[in-house]
Amino acid sequence: MAEDVPFPYLRWAKENLRGGARISLGLSGRAPPGPDEWPAGGLPGPLAVGDAAADLRRALAARYEHPPEGIHLTAGASHANFLCYLAFARGGHVAAETPTYEALHCLAGAVGATLATFRRDPKRDWRVDRAQLERAAPPGTRLIAVTDPHNPSGVRLDPDDLDHLAALAERRGAVLLVDEVYADLDPAPRPPAARRHALTLTTNSLTKAHGLGDLRAGWVLGSPAAVRTLDLTDDWVHPVQPALSLRAAAQWLAHCEAPLARTRALAAERAAQVDRWIAGRKDVWWRKPDAGLTGFVRLGTATRPLDGQVVARRLFERHQVRAVPGAFFQAPEWLRLSFGLAEAAELDDALGCLGEVLDGAGR
């Protein structure tokens, strides 16, 4: 069967204009500047994108024990997710968890796909509601999307749920997209979901666990065939990653274990601090996160829930403390708290302010 090539010129240019000719009349821009053209202070290594991309792929392959030809480099996890939807769900049907990171819902509309959601249940460790999943992902579904660790709760996807999702996706011939942007913060790291079956994709980046969002260094892990499809589709979107960013990302990965260990230790301390605060109150509840720097807090009581938007607004207006209303995660009675503050006293201060707002709520 002939391969679908969405943007034939760019595909050709990538395969034909990157060397191999004695003289090229095909390059419409200038050659990359050498180090002598740059201001004093220098750059992190040569600027050839091909080399930098290969280096970063090698670094990621070693870190995640995944073959380099199953890695597609992207401008952050946002681009990675968009590309997966565009390549695999365009004009089709998507099933995505809820609550979740809003993009996993919006992207369906962006690529002309329909969306149905399935619940993750806070009272059952945020497990997947399988009856809802079955209804949300009927035959013909093209993509099923989850986060692991879960955004907003920071709870790990139960291994049985991952098995179940992968088996269902396989039965449907659908892609299972697992956004693992918080996975490197997990104190007990697990292999990427991308190893599950040929159509399971893991998206990730250096944004959250590594604090390097400004590098826009992200990736998709998948089978070589799936990565080929992403590669072709990306000819439309972001055909080449910035060399400086690739180079810096590869350098970072070579020595990221010590900073990651420090961040995980800080996350554990701060999560315990929030947990103590929650245990001391009757009007908030959470399932303590397993990993990461955020948790999802239910406001009020079963009989008297509170509006997260109102609480967040009062918290800011009265105390200039920001928290994210749960409505952004399709859960209006919740608040997403990110607790990765450097100082314990600062977190105590913020929680004290939230406590004051909750004490006065309803008045």
Ligand X SMILES: Cc1ncc(COP(=O)(O)O)c(C=O)c1O
**Edge-first strand listing for the sheet containing 93-98:** 71-74, 218-221, 200-205, 175-179, 143-147, 93-98, 114-121, 127-128
Nearest alpha-carbon partner for 46 in 216, 246, 231, 192: 246
Rule CB under 6 A: is residue 55 a binding residue for ligand X? Answer: no
Dihedral of the CA atoms 208, 210, 216, 217 (nearest 10)?
Answer: -120
- In the block, tokens 């004290």 appear at 352
Instruction: Tell me whether residue 75 or residue 299 sits nearer to ligand X (CB atom).
Output: 75
Q: Which residues pair with 284 in a beta bridge?
A: 299
The one-letter amino acid at 128: V
> Contact with ligand X (CB under 6 A): which of 98, 141, 202, 207?
207
Q: Is the CB of 205 or the CB of 306 nearer to ligand X?
A: 205
Q: Is 202 in the site for ligand X (CB under 6 A)?
A: no
Our finding on whether 289 is near ligand X (CB under 6 A) is no
213 part of the interface to ligand X, by CB under 6 A? yes
Backbone angles phi, psi at 114, to 5 degrees: -85, 160
Task: Write down the residue that tokens 């399932």 correspond to.
Answer: 287
In the complex, the smallest distance separating the C-beta of residue 273 from ligand X, rounded to whole angstroms, is: 22
Contact call for residue 223 and ligand X (CB under 6 A) = no
Q: How far is the CB of 285 from ligand X (least distance, A)?
A: 22
Residue nearest to ligand X (CB): 76
Report the residue from 97, 129, 179, 186 that binds ligand X according to the rule CB under 6 A: 179
Q: Is 101 in the site for ligand X (CB under 6 A)?
A: yes
Compare residues 293 and 306 and give the one whose CB is closer to ligand X.
Answer: 293
The verdict on 250 binding ligand X (CB under 6 A) reads: no
Counting other chains too, the contacts that 275-283 makes at CB distance below 8 Å and 24 or more residues apart are 277/351, 277/355, 281/355, 281/358, 283/358, 283/361
Handedness of CA 164, 170, 173, 177 (dihedral sign): positive
Structural tokens at position 154: 């920071």
Q: Does 218 bind ligand X (CB under 6 A)?
A: yes
Please count the residues of this chain forming the interface with ligand X, following the rule CB under 6 A.
12
> Least separation, in Å, of the C-beta of 213 and ligand X?
5
Residues 67-86 that bind ligand X (CB under 6 A): 76-78
Q: What residues make contact with ligand X under the rule CB under 6 A?
A: 76-78, 101, 147, 151, 179, 181, 205, 207, 213, 218
